[in-house]
């Protein structure tokens, strides 16, 4: 037994004990404990194994910077991995395991790595496993080095995202942050105060202090309550500011409901990600203590001095009975007093400075504590945890001293992570041996310890001013004492001296990095993996770069730091994803007649963001059989197809015709009212970006039709040209795609069905010919009908208001039943257009396809400008060997050729002369039909090519005009 619970004190509720297990063993703690404080109080010394050498490790810290105690909490779907035990709030029934060890933290077979430690320096894996291929070794190495094992079950909890705005966002609720938020809230500002701990107060929760005549923690509680009660203020505890982005945008991660690993108790989300835009930001995130770098500094029992104090004061958990303190600065003396005050013994205070301030040493000597000045610790002893240390005194003599806890302090690092993310520049403060914020890049100010100001009065005053406080700030009862430091970056002695505890990087690894000339901090980081663990080097980075500075004889300021990146502490994917998962990840649009398709037995697939019927399989019918049957129904009787997603854009205005002439590659201004025309749109590079049928409703009113995928894109495209290039044109553009449902009747019986459904106009071929447009009523429903065809059969494209789609669907199916009407899905629709050789934009074309490539070279004859016109005469676009749109038919078989396969002349050994863009089995012909892009294809009709189906294998095909032709070369539809 080493650590123990003190008989009184601490912010724990001794009337509410909690049972939990760690590594399968039962323990007891109290409400208010963290997993770390409960383990420490229970005397558990080994809490995990290190990442690379699998060395036993104990608690290093008491807060977010903890590097060793990574745990997996909970079981099954709610298991959370790689949590810091110092941040896990204890709850009844909590189960936790150490990560990165097997079978347990106390006995771990991977510790064999430690015996070969000399053989596993930085870069070992890169240098050793290069031959024959790193990928052979990677899975094994990764498994050996892995951290926790996340659940593969779906996360049963809910997460959400919130957006917020405020006048002042304060990060950290220590004395400086509270003073800032208090001042601003009293001025009536919209204030957000963010604290990662469950309790406000920061260092006031454990450091002795008196403010305005109250204990520090009392004052903090009252101040936080006053802020929370202000009408426009919000205090968020259990909330970490994890990222600071441009223009004062910050991301906060709030742990809302349910302790880690436990079921969420109620309707609330487990976590909430806040996206906050703040007018001003106050960073009062405090400071983190640095470890000292000396041999054996990772033995369980070696802890940060401030953590020893914090565990004792906040959780009534004393880290050990017999302590040694090792420091290079004044702050660790408080830990010695804390240990003494709680009944522990302090065997020695080892201060590396030859002459620390006399009042510090005197206060301890008065309590009977030995102080060794100019001394250092050169070894630690005990297995698995600390039983003693070897002290080398100023004269070079070694003394072995018994100890079960070693409290160390190498100085302090202001928590500058968010400041650095905000773009601010850090400056090196040589006197205090720390990096602190320099010039701000945004509307932000750092205060208190985060700014390198460690005095309580100064911190409060800085916060008060930053919050806009008028008058006197809250008053601390004691004057600030200066603290001093004499940097000691590493103890020159043999043995593994750890710099990065979490990634097992030692001072020797940094020396190796320097010898091999990885001297930039960014190279050092990547070569040794220093600072790349889940803690992002919170306790290691500054020590490492200072050691590198020493080794290379440069000033620390010149070596600099690596970039601080978000998140400050790890964030769950659940919180980042929020509600955007499952069906809500990318919500699909449903057709207006969706329910009718469901009733008709449709099999749905996603096409361009829409959920559409792929086909309508009957009982026991395969997908393939269904699409063949549906396509045949169109050829022989009549099909009903839902084409609602086709893009529809109203273009209205005196200059509408002129505008469309500039946009389209072909002429639209000559279109007569009531007529329809196929058109191509190009981008300025001359590539085809959309096609569709446009109808003229009136002299100044066109309805532009686009592909389904182009509906939003082309509407935005038209707006862009109008607003940016031709603002003088009198034209309005309105996308109306979703206002209309489009049901298309297609097939030899289409006219009969429309007639039977009831239409209030003449629809004979002479009255209502191909490529015309009428407004009328179908079955009493106001409708627009276009006579256009994507199948080659007689077609009526009937548009009605979206909310009448179901009505029209029902009437057409009823009227069509005697004629053998079949609902037709997209797959059959595509087969039909393939048989006809009709181009499907995006399937047969890509981002480089020009009008001439698809047989529309005649647009080149247009004598006027339009978008993309000039590009069509660029030399590249006039080359004769460009890929051109053709049909291909298999010579040797009726089986369709695979889409995407390449084509090549039989005589050529390698290379490609094009590829298949569309392919399917024609139900009409009972054999494969295909379309392709082939080099100079239009000059090669009749030529035989090979479709490459594998190494040295191919199928013979013949190049044809696109589309199946009858025996006399006539199109299939006559």
Nearer to another protein (CB atom), residue 520 or residue 685: 685
How many CA within 13 A on the CB side of residue 273?
A: 21
Place of tokens 């239409």: 759
- Interaction pattern, residues 657-696, with another protein; x per rule: CB under 8 A: ---------------------------xx-----------
Q: What residue has token string 């594998």?
A: 950
What CA–CA distances, in Å, run from 573 to 148, 243, 259, 579?
15, 15, 17, 11
Binding mask 727-756 vs another protein (x if CB under 8 A, - otherwise)?
x-----------------------------
- Closest separation between CB of residue 886 and another protein, Å? 29
Does 396 contact another protein by CB under 8 A?
A: no
- Helices 175-186 and 216-229 cross at an angle (nearest 10°) of 30
The mark string for 857-886 relative to another protein (x by CB under 8 A, - otherwise) is --------x---xxx--xx-----------
Which of 137, 245, 607, 915 binds another protein (CB under 8 A)? It is 245
Contact status: 247 vs another protein (CB under 8 A): yes
Contacts to another protein from residues 12-41, by CB under 8 A? none
Q: What are phi and psi of 520, to 5 degrees?
A: -70, 145
Give the residue among 849, 748, 844, 738 at the shortest CA–CA distance from 789: 748
Check binding of 571 to another protein (CB under 8 A).
no
Closer residue to another protein (CB): 315 or 866: 866
Q: Which residues contact 818 (CB under 8 A, 6 or more apart)?
A: 756
Residue closer to another protein, measured from CB, 278 or 808: 278
Per DSSP, 965 falls in state B
Residue 421 Cβ, how far from another protein at the closest point, in Å? 12
| DSSP string over 30-50 | EET-BHHHHHHHTT----EE-
Least CB distance from residue 866 to another protein, whole Å?
A: 9
Residue 28 vs 277, nearer CB to another protein: 277
d(CA 694, CA 647): 10
Q: Which is nearer to another protein, 163 or 953 (CB)?
A: 163
**Residue span binding another protein (CB under 8 A) among the ranges 260-268, 332-340, 372-380, 724-732:** 724-732
Choice between 749 and 869, CB closer to another protein? 869
Residue nearer to another protein on the CB measure, 606 or 725: 725
Scan residues 114-173 and list those touching another protein (CB under 8 A): 163
> At closest approach, how far in Å is the CB of 873 from another protein?
8
Please, what is the minimum distance in Å from the beta carbon of residue 248 to another protein?
Answer: 8
Count the Cβ atoms, other than its own, within 10 Å of residue 465. 16
Q: How far apart are CA 61 and CA 68, in angstroms?
A: 9
Min separation Cβ 682 and another protein, Å = 12
Nearest residue (CB) to another protein, 25 versus 874: 874
Contact 300, 46 (CB under 8 A): yes
The structure tokens listed for 564 are 């601080």
Rounded to 10°, the helix 623-636/826-836 angle is 60
Q: 888 — phi, psi (to 5°)?
A: -135, 140
3-class SS of residue 131: coil
Q: Which is nearer to another protein, 673 or 716 (CB)?
A: 716
In angstroms, what is the minimal distance from the CB of 880 to another protein? 18
Task: Check residue 28 and report its DSSP letter.
Answer: E
Q: Does 441 bind another protein (CB under 8 A)?
A: yes
Location of structure tokens 């001297």: 519
Separation of alpha carbons 864 and 905, rounded Å: 40
> Pick from 398, 725, 755, 760: which binds another protein (CB under 8 A)?
725
Residue (871 or 912) nearer to another protein, CB: 871
DSSP state of 586: S
CB of 249: closest distance to another protein in angstroms?
Answer: 4
Range 28-60 burial, b when 16+ CB lie within 10 A, else e = ebbbbbbbbbbbbbbebbbbbbbbbbbbbbbbb
Choose one: 699-707, 718-726, 748-756, 800-808; the region binding another protein (CB under 8 A): 718-726
Number of residues in contact with another protein under rule CB under 8 A: 25
Integer Cα distance of 415 and 289 in angstroms: 10
Q: Binding to another protein by residue 246, rule CB under 8 A? A: yes
CA 577 to chain centroid, in Å, comes to 7
Query: 87 vs 444, which CB is nearer to another protein?
Result: 444
The residue among 139 and 875 lying less far from another protein, judged by its C-beta, is 875
Residue of 208, 382, 423, 495 that binds another protein (CB under 8 A): 423
Minimal distance in Å, beta carbon 192 to another protein?
17
Q: Is the CB of 727 or the CB of 764 nearer to another protein?
A: 727
Binding region for another protein (CB under 8 A) out of 411-419, 560-568, 720-728, 927-935: 720-728
Q: Is 249 in the site for another protein (CB under 8 A)?
A: yes
- Helical (H) or strand (E) element with 789: none
Q: How far apart are CA 41 and CA 1, in angstroms?
A: 10
Please calculate the CA angle 98-102-103 and round it to the nearest 5 degrees.
Answer: 95
Confirm if 948 and 882 have CB atoms less than 8 A apart. no
Among 173, 196, 248, 845, binds another protein (CB under 8 A): 248
Residue 277: CB minimum distance to another protein, A:
6
The yes or no reply on residue 766 touching another protein (CB under 8 A) is: no
Q: Which residues lie closer than 8 Å to 437 by C-beta, 6 or more apart?
A: 283, 414, 416, 419, 424, 426, 427, 446, 450, 451, 452
Residue corresponding to tokens 């039943």: 817
User: Residue 958: CB partners within 8 Å, gap ≥ 6?
Assistant: 888, 889, 891, 942, 943, 944, 945
Cβ distance to another protein smaller for residue 436 or 869: 869
| Residues 787-826, interacting with another protein (CB under 8 A) | none
Query: Which range touches another protein (CB under 8 A), out of 32-40, 613-621, 715-723, 771-779?
Result: 715-723
CB of 194 vs another protein, minimal distance in Å: 18
Q: Is residue 812 within 8 Å of 743, Cβ to Cβ?
A: yes
- 210 contacts another protein (rule: CB under 8 A): no
Q: Does 277 bind another protein (CB under 8 A)?
A: yes
Residue 439 in the binding site for another protein (CB under 8 A): no
The least CB distance from residue 163 to another protein, in Å, is 8
Strand partners, 884: 934
Tell the smallest beta-carbon distance from residue 589 to another protein (Å): 17
The CA distance from 331 to 540, in Å, is 19
Tell me the C-alpha to C-alpha distance, in Å, between residue 661 and each of 656, 668, 683, 716.
9, 6, 14, 17
The residue (of 75 and 684) whose beta carbon lies closer to another protein is: 684
Answer for which of 115, 152, 619, 724 binds another protein (CB under 8 A) is 724
Q: How far is the CB of 863 from another protein (least distance, A)?
A: 9
Secondary structure element (H or E) that encloses residue 494, with its range = none
What is the smallest separation between the CB atom of 877 and another protein, expressed in angstroms? 11
Nearer CB in complex with another protein: 277/581: 277
Nearer to another protein by Cβ, of 221 and 852: the residue is: 852
Question: Does position 719 bind another protein by CB under 8 A?
Answer: yes
Within 8 A by CB and 6+ apart from 547, the residues are: 293, 489, 490, 499, 507, 510, 511
Of the two residues 163 and 397, which places its CB atom closer to another protein in the complex? 163
CA distances, 694 to each of 227, 477, 620, 640, 691 (Å): 62, 81, 41, 22, 9
User: What residues line the site for another protein (CB under 8 A)?
Assistant: 163, 245-249, 275, 277, 423, 441, 684-685, 716, 719-720, 723-725, 727, 865, 869-871, 874-875
């Amino acid at each position: 037994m080493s650590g123990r619970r003190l008989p009184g004190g601490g912010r724990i509720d001794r009337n509410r004990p909690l049972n939990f297990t760690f590594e399968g063993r039962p323990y007891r703690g109290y409400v208010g404990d963290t997993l770390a404080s409960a383990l420490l109080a229970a005397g558990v010394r080994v809490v995990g194994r290190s990442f690379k050498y699998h060395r036993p490790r104990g608690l290093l810290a008491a807060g977010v910077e903890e590097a060793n105690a990574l745990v997996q909490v909970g079981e099954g779907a709610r298991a959370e991995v790689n949590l810091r035990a110092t941040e896990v709030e204890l709850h009844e029934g909590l189960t936790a395991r150490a990560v990165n060890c097997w079978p347990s933290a106390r006995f771990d077979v991977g510790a064999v790595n430690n015996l070969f430690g000399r053989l596993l320096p930085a870069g070992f894996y890169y240098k050793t496993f290069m031959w024959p291929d790193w990928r052979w070794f990677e899975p094994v190495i990764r498994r050996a080095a892995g951290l926790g094992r996340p659940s593969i079950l779906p996360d049963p909890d809910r997460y959400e995202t919130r957006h917020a705005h405020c006048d002042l966002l304060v990060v950290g609720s220590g004395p400086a942050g509270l003073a800032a938020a208090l001042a601003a809230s009293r001025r009536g500002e919209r204030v957000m105060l963010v604290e990662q701990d469950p309790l406000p107060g920061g260092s006031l929760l454990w450091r002795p202090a008196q403010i305005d005549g109250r204990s520090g923690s009392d004052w903090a509680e009252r101040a936080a309550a006053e802020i929370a009660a202000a009408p426009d203020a919000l205090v968020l505890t259990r909330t970490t500011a994890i990222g600071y982005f441009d223009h004062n945008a910050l991301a906060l991660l709030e742990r809302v409901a349910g302790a880690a690993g436990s079921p969420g108790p109620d309707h609330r989300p487990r976590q909430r990600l806040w996206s906050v835009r703040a007018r001003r930001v106050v960073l009062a995130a405090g400071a983190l203590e640095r470890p000292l770098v000396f041999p054996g500094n990772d033995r369980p029992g070696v802890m940060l001095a401030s953590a020893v104090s914090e565990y004792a004061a906040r959780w009534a958990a004393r880290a050990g009975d017999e302590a040694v303190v090792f420091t290079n600065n004044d702050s660790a003396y408080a830990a010695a007093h804390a240990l003494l005050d709680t009944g522990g013994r302090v065997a020695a205070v080892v201060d590396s400075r030859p002459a620390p301030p006399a009042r510090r040493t005197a206060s301890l000597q008065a309590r009977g504590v030995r102080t060794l000045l100019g001394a250092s610790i050169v070894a630690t002893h005990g297995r698995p945890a600390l039983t003693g240390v070897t002290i080398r005194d100023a004269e070079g003599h070694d003394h072995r001293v018994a100890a079960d806890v070693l409290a160390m302090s190498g100085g302090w690092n202001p928590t500058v992570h968010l400041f650095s993310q905000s773009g601010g520049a850090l400056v090196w403060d040589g006197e205090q041996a720390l990096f602190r914020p320099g010039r701000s890049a945004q509307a932000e100010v750092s205060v208190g310890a985060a700014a390198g100001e460690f005095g309580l009065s100064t911190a409060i005053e800085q916060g008060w001013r930053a919050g806009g406080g008028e008058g006197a700030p809250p008053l601390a009862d004691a004057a600030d004492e200066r603290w001093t430091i004499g940097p000691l970056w590493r103890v020159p002695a043999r043995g593994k001296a750890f710099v990065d505890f979490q990634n097992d990087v030692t001072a020797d690894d940094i020396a190796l990095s320097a010898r091999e000339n990885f001297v930039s901090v960014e190279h050092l980081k990547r070569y040794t993996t220093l600072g790349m663990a889940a803690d992002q080097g919170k306790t290691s980075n500054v020590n490492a770069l200072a050691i590198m500075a020493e080794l290379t004889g440069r000033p620390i300021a010149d070596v600099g730091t690596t970039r601080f990146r978000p998140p400050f502490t790890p964030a769950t994917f659940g919180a980042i994803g929020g509600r955007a998962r499952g069906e809500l990840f990318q919500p699909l649009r449903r057709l207006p007649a969706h329910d009718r398709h469901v009733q008709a037995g449709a099999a749905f697939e996603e096409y361009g963001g829409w959920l559409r019927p792929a086909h309508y399989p009957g009982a026991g019918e395969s997908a393939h059989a269904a699409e063949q049957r549906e396509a045949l129904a169109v050829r022989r009787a009549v099909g009903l197809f839902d084409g609602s997603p086709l893009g529809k854009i109203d273009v209205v205005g005196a200059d509408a015709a002129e505008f469309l002439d500039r946009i389209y590659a072909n002429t639209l201004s000559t279109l007569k009212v009531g007529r329809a025309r196929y058109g191509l749109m190009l981008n300025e590079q001359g590539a085809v970006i959309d096609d569709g049928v446009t109808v003229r409703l009136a002299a100044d009113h066109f309805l532009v039709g686009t592909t389904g995928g182009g509906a939003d894109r082309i509407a935005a495209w038209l707006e862009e040209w109008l607003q940016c290039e031709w603002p003088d044109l009198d034209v309005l553009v309105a996308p109306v795609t979703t206002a209309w449902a489009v049901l298309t009747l297609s097939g030899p019986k289409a006219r009969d069905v429309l007639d039977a459904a009831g239409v209030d106009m003449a629809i004979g071929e002479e009255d209502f010919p191909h490529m015309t447009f009428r407004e009328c009523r179908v079955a009493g429903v106001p409708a627009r009908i276009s006579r256009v065809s994507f199948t080659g059969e007689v077609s009526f494209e009937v548009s009605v208001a979206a909310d009448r789609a179901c009505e029209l669907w029902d009437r057409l199916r009823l009227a069509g039943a005697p004629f053998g009407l079949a609902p037709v899905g997209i797959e059959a629709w595509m087969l039909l257009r393939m048989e006809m050789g009709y181009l499907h934009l995006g399937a047969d074309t890509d981002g480089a396809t020009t009008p001439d490539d698809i047989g529309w070279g005649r647009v080149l004859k247009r004598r006027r400008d339009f978008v993309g016109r000039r590009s069509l005469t660029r030399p590249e676009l006039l080359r004769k060997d460009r890929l051109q749109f053709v049909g291909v038919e298999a010579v040797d078989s009726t089986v369709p050729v695979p889409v995407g396969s390449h084509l090549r002349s039989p005589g050529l050994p390698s290379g490609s002369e094009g590829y298949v863009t569309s392919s399917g089995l024609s139900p009409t012909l009972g054999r494969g039909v295909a379309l392709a892009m082939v080099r100079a294809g239009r000059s090669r009709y009749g030529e035989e090519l090979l479709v490459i189906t594998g190494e040295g294998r191919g199928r013979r095909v013949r190049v044809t005009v696109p589309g199946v032709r009858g025996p006399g070369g006539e199109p299939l539809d006559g």
